Structure 1
C-alpha cells in the first residue's frame, strides 16, 4: 500500500508529528541521512512528515538537503505528497491567511541552492530520463482531491496560482518582487520548488498548499506591522486541519507526468 506524506515549513515545528503520535525515523540515502516522522493512520495507511527546517528550526533554505528528502520519500513508497509553505503574495486579489492551491511554477534556472542542477539524475543510470510535464508539476488530481474536501476553506481553487522560487536565505528586493509579478508570479518563497521538481522525477504526485503571510510588493498595503512569528501562526492555523485530514483520509493518485528514457 502506498503511503502519504507532507513537507512542512517554519510555522509548524513538530506540532503535527506530535498530534498524530508520529515517531522519528532516520532514513539513509545516497545523499545523506534524512529524518522523517511516521505512523499508521486510522485507515491502516503509512503516513509521514518531513520538517524541512528540522526541529528545533536550524536549517536555512539553502542548507536543506532536498535530494535526501526526495530519496527518503521514495524509500517509504510515497504515493501522494503535499508540500506546505508560508509565502509572500505578489497579486493584490489574493488574500492573506487563507489556503491557496498552487497550479504552476516559475523556476527558470532549475538549480538547487548550491548551484547544481535540480535533479536526482546526477550520474548516468538506468532510472534517469527527462521529466515530461503532461500534467504539470502540481498534480491536478491530488489538488482537486484536497480542494474538493475543503472548498469552503481554500481560496477559489479554480484560480491559477503561479508559485515563484526565490531562493534564500535573504529576502527579495522590491525590484525583484516587482519583476516576478510582471512575469506572472502570484506567490513566492525560498523553498517548495526544489521539492516538487525532485518528487516528480521520482514519479511522486505532488500538490502545493500555501498561505500568504505578507504582501511582497510595495504598492499593496500589509496589515499593521506584526512580528513574523505571529503571521506564521496565522498561516499555520489556516492549514493545520487540512494537512491533518490529508494524512488521515487522503488517497494516492496516479502519476500523470512521465520520465522519458532513451
Structure 2
C-alpha cells in the first residue's frame, strides 16, 4: 500500500490534532536531510511534512524543495495534498473557506536559489520532460478530496488559479494588480515548487488553499504583525478537518501525466 502525505505551512504546528500520534523521522536524500512525521495510529501509512519546520524557522526562500520531494518519494507517497494560506485576488472568493486549486501560474520555472525547478539537475537514466496530460493537479484526487468534505469546501464549479510569487517579502499593490490581470485567483510564496517536483517524481497532487487576507487591488487586507498571526489561526481552523479526513481516508490514484524519456525504447 502506498502512503498519503500532506504538506502544511505557517498556520500549523505538530499539535495538528490531538488524535494523531506523530513519530518524527529523518529521511536522508541526495539533496540533504528532510524531516517527516509519520502518523502511527492509522491503519495505513500517512505522513505530515511541515515545510517551515518545527518550530517555524524556515522562510519560503530557504525551503529545500528537492529534499522534500525526494523524501516523499522514499516513503512511497501515492497521493499528496499540498496546502497553503493565500492572498485572495478574486472578490468572489471568500476568506477562511478552503478552496481546491485547479491550475498554476509560475512565470519562471525556478526555485528560490535561481536554479531550475526540476529534480533532473544532472544527466541520469530516469530524467525526462514532464508532459502535463492532466495538469499539475490530479483531477481524480481533487474530486476525491471534495467528496471527503463537500460541506467544508467552496464549490468546485469555479476555477482557482494559483500564482506562485517567491518570498520572503510580500507583494506590492502593483504586483497584485498584475497577477489579477494575468488571471490569478490567489497567490502565495510556496506550493508551486512542491507540486512541480512531486509531479516529476510521478506523485499525484491536490492543492488545498485558504485565503487569510485579501490581496485584491483596492481591497488589500492590513498586514500588521498581529493581524497576520490572527488570520493564519483563522485559516488553520477551516482546513484542519479536511487534512485529517485526507490522512485517514484518501487513497492513491493513478498518475496521469507523463515523464517523456528519450532513453525509453
Q: Normalised by the shorter chain, which TM-score bucket?
A: over 0.9
Map 1:87-98 onto structure 2 (within 5 A). 87-98=86-97
Map 1:120-131 onto structure 2 (within 5 A). 120-131=119-130
Q: Secondary structure at the match of 1:16?
A: coil
For residue 150 of structure 1, report the CA deviation from its aligned partner: 1.3
Name which of structure 1's ranges 162-171 and 227-236 shifts more when overlaid on structure 2. Answer: 227-236
**Contact 2:89/2:217 (<8 A) preserved:** no
Residue 8 (structure 2) aligns with:
8
Structure 2 unaligned regions, length at least 5? none
Deviations 1:186-226 (A, max 9, x none): 00000000000000000000000000001112322648986
Map 1:63-212 onto structure 2 (within 5 A). 63-212=62-211
Deviations 1:102-139 (A, max 9, x none): 00000011000000000000000111000000110011
TM-score, normalised on structure 1?
Answer: 0.96
Q: 2: CA distance between counterparts of 1:184 and 1:108?
A: 12
Q: 1: CA distance between counterparts of 2:254 and 2:216?
A: 37
TM-score, normalised on structure 2?
Answer: 0.95
Where do 4+ consecutive residues of structure 1 move more than 3 Å? 221-226
Residue 52 (structure 2) aligns with:
53
For residue 39 of structure 1, report the CA deviation from its aligned partner: 2.7
Q: 2: CA distance between counterparts of 1:81 and 1:244?
A: 13
For residue 16 of structure 1, report the CA deviation from its aligned partner: 2.3
For residue 154 of structure 1, report the CA deviation from its aligned partner: 0.5
Q: Is the alpha carbon distance of 1:221 and 1:189 closer, same or farther for their aligned partners in structure 2, counting shifts above 3 Å?
A: closer
For residue 17 of structure 1, report the CA deviation from its aligned partner: 7.0
Deviations 1:38-80 (A, max 9, x none): 03453x3100010000011000000000000000000000000
Map 1:17-36 onto structure 2 (within 5 A). 19-36=19-36
Q: Is the alpha carbon distance of 1:76 and 1:118 closer, same or farther for their aligned partners in structure 2, counting shifts above 3 Å?
A: same
For residue 175 of structure 1, report the CA deviation from its aligned partner: 0.3
Residue 260 (structure 2) aligns with:
260
Residue 233 (structure 2) aligns with:
233
Alignment length (residue pairs):
261
Q: 2: CA distance between counterparts of 1:174 and 1:80?
A: 36
Task: State the Cα RMSD in Å.
Answer: 1.5
Q: 2: CA distance between counterparts of 1:150 and 1:108?
A: 32
Structure 1 unaligned regions, length at least 5? none
